[in-house]
A and B are shown apart, each in its own frame.
Chain A
Amino acid sequence: DIVMTQSPDSLAVSLGERATINCKSSQSLLYSPDNNNYLAWYQQKPGQPPKLLIYWASTRESGVPDRFSGSGSGTDFTLTISGLQAEDVAVYYCQQYYTTPCTFGQGTKLEIK
C-alpha cells in the first residue's frame, strides 16, 4: 500500500499569513501516460464531511478560493493557503488515488495563532 505522510501534524498561523502543509507518498504518484499526479487535498471542518480542494495535485476544484494552491510532483506535494482567513480553520488531508487501496495522510490540523 502507498503510505501518505503529512507534515506537520498541526499548525498555527496568524490571520493573513501563509500556511504550508506537506505530503509525502511512499511511491511516485506521477502516471507517465497522462503526466498527471494522482494526488488530492481535502478540507474537513468539525461536523462536516471532507471537501475536495485540489485534484491532480494542482487543479483547484470549482468554487474553491484562489488562496488555496497545490504543488509538487512524484512523491512530494504541498498545499499552500495564502492569506489565511478564520474560516480556513480545519483539518486538511492529502489522498492518493493512483492505486487501490487509495490512502489518506493522517491529517494536519490548522489553527489560528
Chain B
Amino acid sequence: EMQLLESGGGFVQPGGSLRLSCAASGFTFSTYALSWVRQAPGKGLEWVSAISGDGSSTYYAKSVRGRFSISRDNSKDTLYLQMNSLRAEDTALYYCAKGLTTAMGVWGKGTTVTVSS
C-alpha cells in the first residue's frame, strides 16, 4: 500500500523557521514528482511546492517563493519542505501528495503549522 507520512509541524513565531518531512512507502519513490499542498483552517486547498522525481526541478507558489525550499532524499524515500520567514498566513495543515503533472492519487494525513506570536 502506498503511504505518505508527514511530520515536523508545530508552533512557531512570525519570522521563524520549520522543516517538514514526508516519509514515503509502498512505491518507487524516485520515480514520482511530489507536491506539498496546504489548507488553512476552514479554507480550501492551496498547492505550495513540488519537486521532480530526481530532484532536479523545483516549483513554488508565488506566495512562498523565496521563503520555502523543497528537497528530497531518494535514498531515504523522504520529501522535505524548509520553511523560513514564516508568516501568520502560512498557518495551515500541510499535506504531501504524490503527483504534479498527474493527479494526486496519494496523500498523507498532514502536519499542522501554526505561526503566531
Contact = CB atoms under 8 A, between A and B. Distances in A.
Contact of B104 (A52, A56, A103, A105): A52
Interface in A37-86: 38, 40, 42, 44, 49-52, 55-56, 61
Contacts of B50: 100, 102
Interface size class of B (residues with CB under 8 A): 20 to 34
> Which secondary structure characterizes the binding site on chain A?
loop
Nearest to A61: B105
B95 interface: yes
Nearest to A54: B103
A49 B35 contact: no
A7 interface: no
A100 B102 CA distance: 11
Contacts of A106: 44
Given A40-B103, A49-B110, A52-B105, A101 B45 contact: no
Contacts, number: 59
Contacts of B45: 42, 44, 50, 93, 95, 104, 107
A52 B61 CA distance: 22
Contacts of A95: 45, 103-104
B56 to A, nearest CB: 15
Given A49-B95, A104-B47, A97 B109 contact: no
A55 B102 contact: yes
> Max chain B CB contacts within 10 Å: which of A1, A40, A100, A107?
A100
Contacts of B46: 104
B47 to A, nearest CB: 5
Interface of B: 35, 37, 44-47, 50, 59, 61-62, 95, 99-105, 107-110
20 contacts: A42-B104, A44-B45, A49-B108, A50-B107, A52-B103, A52-B104, A55-B105, A61-B105, A95-B103, A95-B104, A97-B104, A100-B59, A100-B100, A101-B59, A101-B61, A102-B47, A102-B100, A104-B45, A104-B46, A107-B44
